[in-house]
Structure 1
């Protein structure tokens, strides 16, 4: 298994197609360091290319999911900007921000579905991460905040682009401008998460069941569903229908369809080849 400084990949069951990706800086409440933005897309690419992995569960080690960007990074960036030519400093900063954005967008670029399992704090950059995930679950006492405005920053890693489509424009504006904290229960009411659980243990158990269920389905159908839904956010209805027609024209010829139909008729669980 690949080794990282800020992350850990775990396959808890060798017979399962579910892989767990942990934000692994518990002593810093999983604050996002510069190293994280280098390692995260590499870890997702590794799992994306792993034929054994069908589903990725993303969670935080320790007591929190993610406390946001490591403030030491912000200080370092600010100092660099003050000590260089303003134009060159701005150009370098833009490149750094774009690279960090790409690291978060790697969640969407990953063909396999990524499920966010959220407990404790999910602040700032943590919101950037979970809004890019395909499904989100949390504990009732999870704590969320679009915190950047309180640090004199305009959130720039995807929250302002993705959150409105999830919770609605008005709610996203209110959360982003106030930076207020809200609970897992409220997150479910606004549609940020699909389901809330009473404890971290219950959350983990439930997410494992859901992930295993998705992982047992046709991997071609699963990655196709993710790809078509993501594409549908960017195009109109007619273009979206054309895209899925083209996708299925290529994928319906697979053995998975025949196996799924046979399993239904024979009242058994289907078995699909690795992707």
Structure 2
């Protein structure tokens, strides 16, 4: 790490070269700070694994006390209450969207209970692995509200069955890791629980981290652009992006390594800290305690 950052609810380690492991507890204001400052705080990170620190729970959803607190408005005026609630929701959305702004791939290692907010969290990650013991639920309708932190915005982009996704959102019924795989929400089901899915996710992160960081961060950036733009717009943008990025020395290094058929190890230089500027920043970030 480039600095010692003390966090109350999130643990961040670097268990393998160039790979960060972010473990959640109660967290969301620290969550945005960690992802928006990943490289500044933790040095040369080229892939991130996101998991829980709790063996049987990835995330059980929003805290009921927090939910009830939202009803305690400081104003009796409905419009002013709405302004305050909107600001709160937007801040929460920005926090849970922070893995998208992180310039390196974020891999969610999901296990145990993954309800409500858990689905918002994993939907904002690049890759999702689930342990076979995972139980999911888009839970919000059961507590009287529509999902508002990212699940509905992203579900059609990360799933392959819009009808099933709508069914799960309307009913809040629980579904298994295998059904999540059939839905297309996760790309792999790992037999076991927390330890097994974290191990496989770290192995994947390590593989990604060995690639050219110019290529990987560019791929993430262009995938995000493609999601939000037409095919034609993305092709034109990609041409402009790669007009600069094709000049990297990483291409020559990668070609030499490929021609050596594994005999030659390749080492890529780290990226500058702000190779892909964040699209937005949340006002909810605490200052790190160094």
- Encode CA deviations 1:62-93: one digit per residue, 9 max, x unaligned: 12110111111111111226x53211111100
The number of residue pairs the alignment matches comes to 262
Structure 1 CA distance, aligned partners of 2:14 and 2:43?
A: 13
Question: Structure 2 length normalisation: TM-score?
Answer: 0.87
Contact 2:103–2:217 (Cα < 8 Å) also in 1: yes
Match of 1:104 among 96, 99, 105: 96
- What residue number does 1:263 align with? 257
Tell me how far 1:150 sits from its aligned partner: 0.4
Match of 1:165 among 145, 157, 167: 157
- What residue number does 1:12 align with? 15
- What residue number does 1:86 align with? 78
Question: Structure 1 length normalisation: TM-score?
Answer: 0.92
- What residue number does 2:34 align with? 43
Tell me how far 1:220 sits from its aligned partner: 0.8
Structure 2 CA distance, aligned partners of 1:8 and 1:71?
A: 24
Structure 2 CA distance, aligned partners of 1:92 and 1:205?
A: 42
What is the DSSP-based 3-state SS (H/G/I as helix, E as strand, rest coil) of the residue aligned with 2:62?
coil
Query: Pairwise mapping of residues 107-118 of structure 1 onto structure 2 (< 5 A)?
Result: 107-118=99-110
Q: Which runs of 5+ in 2 are unaligned?
A: 272-290
Q: Which runs of 5+ in 1 are unaligned?
A: 26-35
What is the DSSP-based 3-state SS (H/G/I as helix, E as strand, rest coil) of the residue aligned with 1:161?
helix
Tell me how far 1:37 sits from its aligned partner: 2.7
Tell me how far 1:51 sits from its aligned partner: 4.1
Tell me how far 1:38 sits from its aligned partner: 1.8
Q: Which has the higher contact order (CA 8 A, sep 6+)?
A: 2
- What residue number does 1:175 align with? 168
- Encode CA deviations 1:18-63: one digit per residue, 9 max, x unaligned: 10001024xxxxxxxxxx3321111002214344100010000112
Tell me how far 1:110 sits from its aligned partner: 1.0
Tell me how far 1:192 sits from its aligned partner: 0.8
Match of 1:208 among 202, 224, 227: 202
Structure 2 CA distance, aligned partners of 1:103 and 1:22?
A: 16
Contact 1:48–1:112 (Cα < 8 Å) also in 2: no
Match of 1:123 among 115, 130, 134: 115
